Each structure stands twice: as C-alpha cells, then as structure tokens.
Amino acid sequence: MGNAHLHSLHLHPVKAVRGPAPREAVVEPWGLAGDRRWVLIDDGGKVVTQRLLPRLALAAAELLPGGAVRLSAPGMLPLTVPVPRPLVTVTVEIFRDKVEAVPAEDEAAHAWVSSFLGIDARLAYMDEPATRRPVAPEFARPGETVSFADGFPLLLTTTASLDALNSLIARGEYADEGPLPMNRFRPNLVVAGTPAWAEDDWSRLAVGEVHFRVAKPCGRCVVTTTDQVTGERGREPLFSLGRHRRLGGKLVFGQNLVPLTRGTIRVGDPVRVLEQRSDRRGNRAADPGVGLV
C-alpha cells in the first residue's frame, strides 16, 4: 500500500448523467461538493436513472459556480439551469426514500429533459443535504446524510480490481465485451497502487488529509452493463461478477464510503489504510445493498 494514491476523481452533478473528472474536489459530509445534488424525476416524482433509460448515458452535466449545471446531449442545444429558489418543494421518490427537493424553476429545463428522454420529466435540486436524506440506518451513524446517490455519500473503486475483473471477463463467455472502462461503475474516487480486491478489507482510510469510513461493499445493477458512450447494453460485467464476486446475495464491485472529516482531496494524494476489518469474512458476508449510479 506504500504506492497507493488517488488516481482520478469523478463528479456527477446530475444523477445518472455523465459528469466531469476534476483534479481536485471538496469533501462534504454528504459527498463531494456538487455531486448528485440534481436529479431527474418523472411526472409522479420518481427518480429517473439509467436503470430505466440507458439513453441518459449520452447526456452530460457541467457543474457551474454556485451549483448551477449546464446540460448537453446529442441533438440538443446546451442549456444552463440555475439553482432554484427554495420557494416550494416536491416529494422525490428514490428507491425506498421520499425526499423533499426544489424543482427547477426554468420551464426550458422541463422542456429540454422531456424532449431528450421522450417522457414527461423535470429536474429537482437538493437544497439542504445536511437534513434532507439520512444514510440507510442499518449502515449509518447518527446524523449521516447523503445526496441523491443511491445510498451512500461516495463510491470508491480501484484500478487493480478493474484489471482483475477484466481478466475474468476475458476468460468468460462474453469476452468480446471487454475490457470495460471504469466509467461503467460511476465511482467518485478511483485508487491506484493497491492489490486487486484489497479494498474488501478496508474499514477506515485517509485520502490526503481527509478521513473516510468504509460503510459496506457496493452491490451492482444493470447500469454497469450500459456503455457510457453509446447507451447500448451487454451482459458484462454482471455475468462475471455473478460467477466470481457474489457476496451476500449481491454482485459486488467497489466500496461505499462515508466522510469522517471535511477537506479537499486531489488527484495524486496518497491513500492510507488506517484500519482493516478484523474479520475479513464479516465484510464479505455483509449484504452489499445498492451502489451509486
């Protein structure tokens, strides 16, 4: 672990949409600053993700100063959406949670996302991430909250584990689909310089001077089979994960993190494991639940 370092950072300002890869990011208690503060909802208030509409992989969101976003997609004129004033809220249904969020005021945004997706959809913004949505109680400590990520503030993956997974894919029935890029897993932090699957045993770590606890492994869904450039779906990596990384009834890749301190992290920062799990089997037997998409 002496050479472990932060290989890359990834922000997703709008859940399920492509985002930037900055050189540095501010860590807040609920995740990276600006990450997944915006979400797309249908006319019933349910969150719209690539699970339902893989076409979302074709859209991109640039984070602007103050939290506004600039949307772009093939065949669409770019559109800047300002942070809405908290005059009213709407109830957003995200998996088992119901969360209050502020709808985008600009009707142009409503028209833009509805036209691109082909359904009646709109953008909503999480104005108070410190109070709106707690982390799942079975894996949380008191007061921990999360933005519109699936369940936890951040997702960490490692380059060595992706290499190992791609080796498994290369020997499998759908070898022609590999090797897969890391963007299939939509992480926030990508770490290099570790052995494959070393992250399974981490309990607490530091990236630069910022400390995190490892809440649980990340169970993966159909989004990982979606090519993030074309929007097309295949069988991998779920086929190979199902054969080799089935933990607690879920197909696992990556680890969900909760920040313990605030600060700024930068690409190249050293990564130090501060605490290992005392029982390796305890981590591997845990129910991984859902991950970040």
Three-class secondary structure assignment of 233-267: ECCCCHHHHHHHCEECCEEEEEEEEEECCCEEEEC
Per the CB < 8 A criterion, the answer to whether 56 and 22 are in contact is no
- pLDDT at position 106: 86
The alpha carbon of 38 is separated from its chain's Cα centroid by a whole number of angstroms, namely 13
- pLDDT at position 278: 76
CATH code of the domain occupying 5-31+135-285: 2.40.33.20
* Rounded CA separation 269/116 (Å): 38
How many residues are present in the chain? 293
Report the sign of the C-alpha dihedral through residues 84, 39, 204, 279, in that order. positive
* Rounded CA separation 225/51 (Å): 10
- pLDDT at position 282: 40
Domain extents for the chain? 5-31+135-285, 37-125
Q: Which residue ranges in the chain fall short of pLDDT 70?
A: 279-293
Query: Any idea which residue has 């992989």 for tokens?
Result: 57
Show the tokens assigned to 54.
């893989």
- pLDDT at position 284: 43
Per the CB < 8 A criterion, the answer to whether 278 and 207 are in contact is no
Per the CB < 8 A criterion, the answer to whether 13 and 25 are in contact is no
- pLDDT at position 188: 98
Show the tokens assigned to 278.
């005392």
First CA to last CA distance, the chain: 28
Q: How many CB atoms lie within 10 A of CB 82?
A: 15
